[in-house]
Structure 1
Amino acid sequence: MTTAVAAPFRFFSLQVVRTRRLGPSLARVTFAGPDLGAFHSDGLDQSLSLFLPHPGQSEPAVPVELGRGSPGSSEAGSGRGWWQGWRELPDGVRAVMRSYTLRALRRDEDGNTAEIDIDFVLHGIGAPGHGATCAAGPAARWAAGAAPGSRVYVLGPAVADNRAIRFRPPGDTDLVVIWGDETAVPAACAIMESLPAHARARVWLEVPHADDVQELRTAADAEVTWLVRDAADGPAATLATLRGAQLPPAEHPYVWIAGESARVKQLRRHFVGERGVDRRRVTFVGYWRQGLTEEQLREQG
C-alpha cells in the first residue's frame, strides 16, 4: 500500500482586487483567485515566492504545465520541479521572482481562503513629500502600478504548518523579543496580531519615514517602539538603542530578528553574545542584503 503525501507548496494563479498605500514606503496589494481555497497557512511570518510579469506582459511567464494546470490536479501547480523549468525560460521573458511574507488572509463562510494581502516596500518609488533615495526594483515598480485585474503567480503553502514559517517560540517562552526593518514589518505585525493575551513582547520596528508608522493591534502585553531612520544614524544607532534598552525580566526569552542581512547578524550577536540569550532561541532571517538584488543573492547560494 502506498500513502500519498501532499506537497507543502503549490502554484496559485491570482489577480489583484485592490491596492492601498500604507505610507511613503509601503503599499498593500490584495489578491484573490479561484484556486485560493487550496491555500492554507497559519500566518505568522509565512514566506511566499511571488512571480511578476515584465512590463508589456499580461501575466508572468512560468512553466505552462506548472502554472496553468487544473486547480484540482495533484501535479499541476504543485511546485514540484518548477525551478529548472522557470530558469530555462529566456531572459526578459522569465517571470520576475521575489520573496515576500504573507501579511494577512481572509476566509469565506466555508472557511476557505478567499483573499490574501501582501505588503510591498516601495524602494525607489517616491511619494508626495518624500523623494526616492535609490533606484526602484522590478517588484517596487510593479506594486506601484498594480491595478485590479493585474495577474501574478504565487508559490505558496498547501499545508498550514510548513517550513516557510520561521517564527516558532518554544512552549516555555515567557518573553518574545522582535526587531525588524521595513521589509519585516508585515511579518512582525502578523506575528503580533497572533500573540495571545498572556504573552509578553518587546518590539522594535524600523522604517524610513515617520509616516510609515502603522497602528499595530495585539492582545499581548506588548511594548512597541518604532524607530524612524530619518531621525537615526543608521545601524550604529539601532544597535545603541537596543543595547540601552532594558528588557522585562524573563527566564526563557525568544528572539525573532528579520530584515537586512548584515544588521540581522549584528543584532543576533548582540542578543546571544551580549545578553546571553540561548542561540537556539534566536530566529534570524535575512530578507535582503544591502547593495545586492535577489538574483545576485541566489547566485551566491
Structure 2
Amino acid sequence: MYVISTDAFELATLGGRVLLAGTEATLDELRGTLALLPEKARGQVFVEVPSAADILPLAAPSRMVVTWLTRDTRSGEPGTCLPCERGQALRRAVRAWVGEMSTDSEHDDGDAVRVWFAGDTYREVSAV
C-alpha cells in the first residue's frame, strides 16, 4: 500500500518506507525535506535532471538511496525514438519502485510506503 504525503513535516514524523521524487527545479525543496527526515528514515529518492552535469551533492539519511535520472541518457516513449521529456524518467522510476515495494496489502507490506513529490512534480508524474 502506498500513501501520497503532501506535508514534509508529517512525512518526517511517520515511520515506514518513504519515496521522495523531484526534478532539478525542486532540488532546494528536496534538500529541505531530506533535512527533516530522521536518521532512521529508509527508502528512495529519485531526482530527474537534464544531464549528468546537473547532478549536485544531496545529503540524505544513510538508509535512503539517492538515484539521479538523467534525461539525456534515456529514451522517450518506447518505440518512438524520441528523447526523454521532462517527467518521463521520474514517472517510470516512481511506478517501478512503488510496484516493487508495495503489494497493496498492509499485512504483507508491514507498513505503508509514503510517497512525497517536490513542488509541482506530482503533476508531471500524476499517472503513477
Same-fold call, TM cutoff 0.5: yes
Q: Structure 1: where are the runs of 5+ without partners?
A: 1-164, 271-301
* Corresponding residue number in structure 2 for 1:251: 111
Question: Root-mean-square deviation (CA), in Å?
Answer: 2.6
- Over 3 Å counting, the alpha-carbon distance change for 1:269 and 1:178 in structure 2 is same
Inter-CA distance 269–213: structure 2 relative to 1 (3 Å threshold): same
Unaligned runs of 5+ in 2: 1-5, 75-83, 103-108
Match of 1:216 in 2: 58
The letter for the 2-side match of 1:200 is R
Identity %: 25
- The amino acid that maps onto 2:122 is V
More strand by share: 1
1:284 alignment partner in structure 2: none
C-alpha spacing 1:182/1:256, structure 2 compared with 1 (3 Å): same
1:191-270 pair list within 5 angstroms: 191-232=33-74, 233-234=84-85, 235-245=87-97, 246-247=100-101, 249=109, 251-259=111-119, 261=120, 264-265=122-123, 267-270=125-128
- Structure with larger RCO (C-alpha < 8 A, sep 6+): 2
Structure 1: distance between partners of 2:12 and 2:55: 30
The residue number in structure 2 matching 1:149 is none
Of residues 167, 170, 175 in structure 1, which corresponds to 2:17? Answer: 175
- The structure with the larger Rg is 1
Q: What TM-score, normalized by structure 2, do the two folds share?
A: 0.65
CA contact (8 A) 2:37 2:61 kept: yes
The correspondence of residues 43-122 of structure 1 with structure 2, limited to 5 A, is none
Count of residue correspondences: 104
Contact 1:201 1:220 (8 Å CA) reproduced:
no
Structure with more helix by fraction: 2
Distance 1:250 1:186, change over 3 A: farther
Partners of 1:218 and 1:258 in 2: CA distance: 15
